[in-house]
């Protein structure tokens, strides 16, 4: 089943539904032997192939076999949620229908009628034979059913509503999923409003928005603490990798883990960037390269590959952006002052810009990158740990890992959690943009000043871990860097996890020596000393930082007694201010 399923899926991705039909027919023939999860997987293939009615029928059978499974609820809901076509019904009570009855005194009864078992009477399900005995079959809306006619038990029921069973089940999932499966990934959230809404009607909405905000904070904390792939956070929050990157670039939710936390890891990344020739792109790398305007430069230096699933994801981003642009985008958010509604009208410049961005990225990828399918030998059964991880982390993310290892080449990812799936010493290598940029200097593609400008952009985007260098710290002091916060964050790299204290102090002292020798005075001694010690104090005690820095400057400024005295005075003043 697994090979036939994967072949059918790939042919559908290649827009070859006719070629996929033979494999889909083989899967349908095996349907009686498949578990519910695999049945739903086949149902999704049927829908993609244009065989919608068969897909819905098989999906309903799978749902009925495992109504206690949250994943089955989500998969069945996904099958119907984005389907704009109505599900037609002859309008009479029959097999696979839902019927609602009302009595003269206002009592209501609901039944879901199926032709075959299993049924659950607790969920008001009954078999067709039972419905026939009760006189329900063949009735239409408005018909009256009289039970026990002419006796003291006579009861009259009017048919109030008839629906296809699949529609009823879908509505039930939409309404009850969150209550039934608390703690499961977000799927749907509904709110019931009164006919004349009051302020209190909005309380559950505000509460849910606060809960989602709290959940986002919790998910990002798990992501940071465990250095997980961006796709994990995306899956948990129901957003894309680019959205998670945007969140990780904020002070509230960041930073964005991109490079290793030890010097050995950095050396390995640097070596990979120097020698790489064939590179597998990931969604995180594309986001960075596009924003830094490096796509074409990278294309000229490497043979670029990407999994087909990544191009599929980028195409979906285009379709989503176009839909929002055509219809406008409305969002509700909760802030400290209460509920806030944001509405961006159709064809607004910001929405149009998102469409242009998505199209540009997709077209560039389609034109310049060789798309590769997932290696067949990596395909595991749907219920396996490998496939569950692929679903949780994201198909295109895990496909990039497997493609990298299968071909023994390099993966470019600004996603340290994903890079951990390609361990050092194994088959395949990884690097991030942090070391790609210096490698472009060594390849004579960009200048050293351009390198520092780009790395400052990464610092501003809260990418970690970036190693501080003399030239990078000096670049942060240049008049073109307007933000004092930017300078503080750049010097904060001195307190990063990859350097020991003497190394950080030496780099800082070399910066002061370079500034002293420069004909252009970029910053005063006191300001630089403060930036250095504040940065180092992010990791070590201020007094210890001051001692290490003083020792390092004594060596670097030994032939500049005047400058050395100024530095020592500034260090002494800093220690007094810090109270240590």
Q: Do residues 501 and 424 both lie within one domain?
A: no
Q: Do residues 75 and 129 both lie within one domain?
A: no
Question: What is the pLDDT confidence band of residue 478, given thresholds at 50, 70 and 90?
Answer: confident
Q: Do residues 521 and 570 both lie within one domain?
A: yes
The domain of 142 spans 97-180
**In the structure encoding, which two tokens stand for residue 426, read together?**
């194994």
| Model confidence at 415: pLDDT above 70 | yes
| Model confidence at 134: pLDDT above 80 | yes
| Model confidence at 580: pLDDT above 70 | no
pLDDT in tens, 341-359: 567 888 899 999 999 999 9
Q: Which of 86, 237, 251, 90 is nearest to 167 (CA)?
A: 86
Find out whether 505 and 470 touch, Cβ atoms under 8 Å.
no
At 210 the pLDDT is 53
| Model confidence at 385: pLDDT above 80 | no
Domain with 427 in it: what CATH number?
3.40.50.1010
Average pLDDT over every residue of 23-44 = 91
Q: Is residue 247 part of a domain?
A: no
Indicate the residue among 180, 212, 232 that finishes a domain. Answer: 180
Average pLDDT over every residue of 484-492 = 90
Distance CA(277)–CA(268), nearest Å, equals 16
Strand, helix or coil for residue 297: helix
Mean pLDDT computed over every residue of the chain: 87
At 26 the pLDDT is 93
Average pLDDT over every residue of 491-515 = 95
Distance CA(413)–CA(415), nearest Å, equals 5
| Model confidence at 222: pLDDT above 90 | no
Q: Is residue 187 part of a domain?
A: no
Q: What is the Cβ-side half-sphere exposure of residue 159, based on CA atoms within 13 angstroms?
A: 22
Indicate the residue among 52, 81, 110 that finishes a domain. Answer: 81
User: Which of 67-76, 81-90, 144-153 ranks highest by mean pLDDT?
Assistant: 67-76
| Model confidence at 554: pLDDT above 50 | yes
Residue that the structure tokens 């603490």 belong to: 225
| Model confidence at 338: pLDDT above 60 | no
Q: In the chain, helix, strand, coil percent, each to 5?
A: 60, 10, 30
Residue that the structure tokens 């063949």 belong to: 138
Find out whether 167 and 115 touch, Cβ atoms under 8 Å.
no
| Model confidence at 453: pLDDT above 70 | yes
pLDDT in tens, 308-317: 999 999 999 9
Distance CA(70)–CA(185), nearest Å, equals 9
- From its phi and psi, is residue 135 left (phi > 0), alpha (psi between -120 and 50) or beta? left
Q: How many structural domains compose the chain?
A: 4
Give me the phi and psi of 98, to 5 degrees please: -110, 135
Average pLDDT over every residue of 66-74 = 90
**In the structure encoding, which two tokens stand for residue 474, read together?**
């000096």
Average pLDDT over every residue of 73-82 = 80
Q: Is residue 573 part of a domain?
A: yes
Distance CA(522)–CA(37), nearest Å, equals 64
**In the structure encoding, which two tokens stand for residue 534, read together?**
């504040």
Count how many residues are written for the chain.
580
Q: Do residues 348 and 406 both lie within one domain?
A: yes
Distance CA(409)–CA(404), nearest Å, equals 5
Q: Is residue 92 part of a domain?
A: no
Q: Is residue 185 part of a domain?
A: no
| Model confidence at 192: pLDDT above 70 | no
Q: Which of 156, 139, 138 is nearest to 147 (CA)?
A: 156
Q: Is the peptide bond before 5 cis (omega within 30 degrees of 0)?
A: no
Indicate the residue among 180, 201, 234 that finishes a domain. Answer: 180
Q: Do residues 529 and 419 both lie within one domain?
A: no
Question: What is the pLDDT confidence band of residue 128, given thresholds at 50, 70 and 90?
Answer: very high
Distance CA(516)–CA(524), nearest Å, equals 10
Q: What is the DSSP letter of 499?
A: S
At 193 the pLDDT is 41
pLDDT in tens, 527-550: 999 999 999 999 999 999 999 999
**In the structure encoding, which two tokens stand for residue 257, read together?**
């883990």
Average pLDDT over every residue of 414-430 = 91
pLDDT in tens, 231-262: 988 888 878 999 999 999 999 899 999 999 99
Q: CB pairs under 8 A, 24+ apart, for 166-173?
A: 166/56, 166/59, 166/60, 166/80, 166/87, 166/96, 167/87, 167/89, 167/98, 168/98, 168/112, 169/60, 169/63, 169/76, 169/112, 170/76, 170/77, 170/80, 170/81, 173/73, 173/76, 173/77
Q: Do residues 393 and 331 both lie within one domain?
A: yes
At 66 the pLDDT is 92
At 9 the pLDDT is 83
DSSP per-residue letters across 416-481 = HHHHTTS-TTSSSEEE-HHHHHHHHHHTTSS-HHHHHHHHHHHHHTTEE-----HHHHHHHTSTT-
Task: Determine what percent of the chain is predicted with pLDDT higher than 70.
Answer: 89
| Model confidence at 425: pLDDT above 80 | no
pLDDT in tens, 393-404: 889 999 999 999
Q: Is residue 317 part of a domain?
A: yes
Q: Is residue 261 part of a domain?
A: yes
Give me the phi and psi of 436, to 5 degrees please: -65, -40
| Model confidence at 337: pLDDT above 50 | no
Strands, E assignment, 244-317 = 256-257, 278-281, 303-307
Question: What is the pLDDT confidence band of residue 280, given thresholds at 50, 70 and 90?
Answer: very high
Q: Do residues 427 and 280 both lie within one domain?
A: yes
| Model confidence at 48: pLDDT above 70 | yes
Q: Do residues 411 and 277 both lie within one domain?
A: yes
Residues whose CB is less than 8 angstroms from the CB of residue 59 and which lie 6 or more positions away in sequence, other chains included: 39, 40, 43, 75, 76, 79, 80, 166
**In the structure encoding, which two tokens stand for residue 128, read together?**
């067709």
Give strand pairing partners of 303.
Answer: 278
Q: Do residues 349 and 401 both lie within one domain?
A: yes
Q: Strand 108-114's sheet: what is its strand order?
A: 125-127, 108-114, 97-103, 155-164, 144-147
Q: What is the DSSP letter of 140?
A: B
At 367 the pLDDT is 97
Domain with 176 in it: what CATH number?
3.10.50
Tell me whether residue 345 is exposed, middle or buried, using C-beta atoms within 10 angstroms of its C-beta: 0 to 12, 13 to 18, 19 or more.
Answer: exposed
Q: Do residues 32 and 72 both lie within one domain?
A: yes
Q: Do residues 319 and 425 both lie within one domain?
A: yes
Q: Do residues 13 and 115 both lie within one domain?
A: no
């Amino acid at each position: 089943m697994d090979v036939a399923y994967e072949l059918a899926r790939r042919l559908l991705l290649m827009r070859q539904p006719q070629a996929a039909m033979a494999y889909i027919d083989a899967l349908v023939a095996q349907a009686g032997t498949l578990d519910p999860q695999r049945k739903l997987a086949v149902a999704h293939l049927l829908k993609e192939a244009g065989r919608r009615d068969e897909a819905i029928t098989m999906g309903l059978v799978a749902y009925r076999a495992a109504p206690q499974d949250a994943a089955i609820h989500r998969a069945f809901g996904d099958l119907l949620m984005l389907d704009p076509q109505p599900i037609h019904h002859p309008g009479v009570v029959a097999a696979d229908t839902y019927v609602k009855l009302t009595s003269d005194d206002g009592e209501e009864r609901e039944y879901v009628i199926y032709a075959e078992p299993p049924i659950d009477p607790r969920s008001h399900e009954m078999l067709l034979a039972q419905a026939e005995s009760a006189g329900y079959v063949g009735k239409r809306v408005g018909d009256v059913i009289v039970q026990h006619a002419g006796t003291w038990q006579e009861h009259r029921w009017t048919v109030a509503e008839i629906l296809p069973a699949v529609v009823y089940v879908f509505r039930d999932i939409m309404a009850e999923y969150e209550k039934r499966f608390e703690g499961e990934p977000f799927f749907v959230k509904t709110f019931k409003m009164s006919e004349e809404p009051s302020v209190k009607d909005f309380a559950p909405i505000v509460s849910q928005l606060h809960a989602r905000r709290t959940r986002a904070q919790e998910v990002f904390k798990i992501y940071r603490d465990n250095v997980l792939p961006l796709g994990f956070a995306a899956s948990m929050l129901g957003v894309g990798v680019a959205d998670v990157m945007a969140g990780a670039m904020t002070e509230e939710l960041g930073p964005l883990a991109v490079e290793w936390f030890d010097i050995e890891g950095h050396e390995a990344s640097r070596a990979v960037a120097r020698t790489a020739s064939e590179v597998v792109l990931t969604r995180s790398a594309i986001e960075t390269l596009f924003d830094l305007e490096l796509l074409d430069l990278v294309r000229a230096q490497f043979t670029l590959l990407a999994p087909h699933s990544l191009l599929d994801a980028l195409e979906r981003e285009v379709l989503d952006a176009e839909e929002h642009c055509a219809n406008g985008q409305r969002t509700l958010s909760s802030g400290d002052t209460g509920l806030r509604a944001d509405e961006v009208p159709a064809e607004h410049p910001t929405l149009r810009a998102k469409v242009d961005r998505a199209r540009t990225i997709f077209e560039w990828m389609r034109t310049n990158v060789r798309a590769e399918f997932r290696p067949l030998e990596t395909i595991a059964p749907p219920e396996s740990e490998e496939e569950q991880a692929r679903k949780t982390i994201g198909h295109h993310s895990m496909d990039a890992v497997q493609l990298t290892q299968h071909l023994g080449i390099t993966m470019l990812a600004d996603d340290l959690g994903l890079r951990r799936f390609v361990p050092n010493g194994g088959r395949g290598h990884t690097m991030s943009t942090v070391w790609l940029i210096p490698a472009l200097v060594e390849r004579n593609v960009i200048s050293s000043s351009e390198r520092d400008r780009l790395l400052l952009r990464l610092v501003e985007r809260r990418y970690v871990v970036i190693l501080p260098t003399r030239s990078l710290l000096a670049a942060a002091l240049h008049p073109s860097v307007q933000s004092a916060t930017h300078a503080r964050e750049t010097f904060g790299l001195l307190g990063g996890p990859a350097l020991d204290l003497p190394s950080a102090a030496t780099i800082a002292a070399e910066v002061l020596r370079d500034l002293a020798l420069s004909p252009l005075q970029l910053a005063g001694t006191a300001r630089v000393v403060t930036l250095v010690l504040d940065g180092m104090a992010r990791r070590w005690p201020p007094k210890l930082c001051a001692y290490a820095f003083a020792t390092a400057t004594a060596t670097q400024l030994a032939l500049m007694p005047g400058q050395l005295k100024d530095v020592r005075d500034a260090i002494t003043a800093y220690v007094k201010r810090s109270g240590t």
